[in-house]
Amino acid sequence: MEIHEPAWLWLLVLNLPLSLLFVRHHFEGKKSLKILAGVHRFPRLENVYVVKNFFSSLFFILFFSFSVLALADIRMGNRLVEDDRVGSEIVFALDISNSMLARDVKPARLDAAKNRIGVIMDSMPGTRFGLVLFKGKAVRIWPITDDVFSLKLFLDTVDPGLITVPGTDLEDALNTSLDVFQFNSSYRAIVLLTDGDVLSGNVSNAVSRAVDMNVPVLPVPIGTDKGSDILLPDNTFLKDSEGREVKSRADRALLEKIADASKGKIFETSEVGNLKNEFLAILKGIEKENTDKGLRLEREKAAGLFIFLGLMSLVCLIVLRGIKWMQTV
């Protein structure tokens, strides 16, 4: 049994003074009845008065008590319901290659990506999250957790220097992300935050594995088609082997192919706040193709039962006060 609004239960203390009030009223009424009825008629009237007064007081107290219990939101027993949130797992695959330092998205691509991760976590309470960082190699940084606060604190420290292997390997990023999932939950997805500037790896192999595991990939393109030069931490621009400044552009076409192939959807950075509803719609669409259903146990609310019992007590009180049980005159 669970009590979701326990503060209301303090009202049950009022049953004690109510009971004392009814007792006092009973004896005062009995005394008045004896005076009005006279010595000869009082014994016959007394039985009716005692019974009706006792049960009237009892039904009123029951009505009051059941009303309080309904307000306390007591839940008893369990039922199976479709799981729309609890058990959901999302792994963020965050690109921290040097191209994510480009400033075509303010203040920079990497900062914008980290901000979007925070928005997603805030919009999906109850969901567990994991984190994979990748450049030329992918590393599982954060296992599946519901400790959103600590994960946000860590994100503030993320920069390209955390991984020394140069390049961008999306295949390793997706495979490492798939390895992070802990349970065979119906509700799992990878949110891929990258500019799509891939330098190594065979993405199609990792996407095929994601499809086999029923895990959609939801890419969030970071960057613009126009692109930008890449400003390094030492305030110099990244240059190629011939000394020319490197200009990085977001490859949306590749990310759209990944989303389509994995039965996911591409999200613009401005749309991630609405990812929750889209996320559930995508996963339910995949779920229809499988026999397993995402279910969880939920406590059943008992408020309806207490409201019914309270109304029945009130009806009994009204009927009792309105019906003559026997001829008393």
- Chain Cα centroid distance, residue 170: 30
Residues of the chain with CATH 3.40.50.410: 89-287
Give the CA count within 13 Å in the CB-facing half-sphere of 289. Answer: 10
The C-alpha atoms of residue 132 and residue 95 are separated, in whole angstroms, by: 9
- Asked whether the predicted pLDDT for residue 217 surpasses 60, the reply is yes
User: Residue 97's pLDDT is what?
Assistant: 87
User: Residue 324's pLDDT is what?
Assistant: 67
DSSP 59: H
Q: Residue 80: pLDDT band by 50, 70, 90 thresholds?
A: low
pLDDT in tens, 242-295: 777 777 777 888 889 999 998 888 887 666 656 666 666 665 555 444 434 455
Fold of 89-287: Rossmann fold (3.40.50)
- Asked whether the predicted pLDDT for residue 133 surpasses 90, the reply is yes
The C-alpha atoms of residue 154 and residue 126 are separated, in whole angstroms, by: 20
Task: Show the CA angle centred on residue 122, arms to residues 119 and 123, nearest 5°.
Answer: 85
- Asked whether the predicted pLDDT for residue 299 surpasses 80, the reply is no
- Asked whether the predicted pLDDT for residue 308 surpasses 80, the reply is yes
pLDDT in tens, 154-181: 999 998 888 888 888 889 999 999 999 8
User: Residue 91's pLDDT is what?
Assistant: 93
User: Residue 114's pLDDT is what?
Assistant: 92
- Asked whether the predicted pLDDT for residue 123 surpasses 70, the reply is yes
Contact 220, 267 (CB under 8 A): yes
Bridging pattern class, strands 74-82 and 2-3: antiparallel
- Asked whether the predicted pLDDT for residue 139 surpasses 80, the reply is yes
Q: Which range has the worst mean pLDDT, 26-30, 116-120, 129-133?
A: 26-30
User: Residue 288's pLDDT is what?
Assistant: 47
> What mean pLDDT comes out for the span 39-50?
74
Q: Residue 63: pLDDT band by 50, 70, 90 thresholds?
A: very high
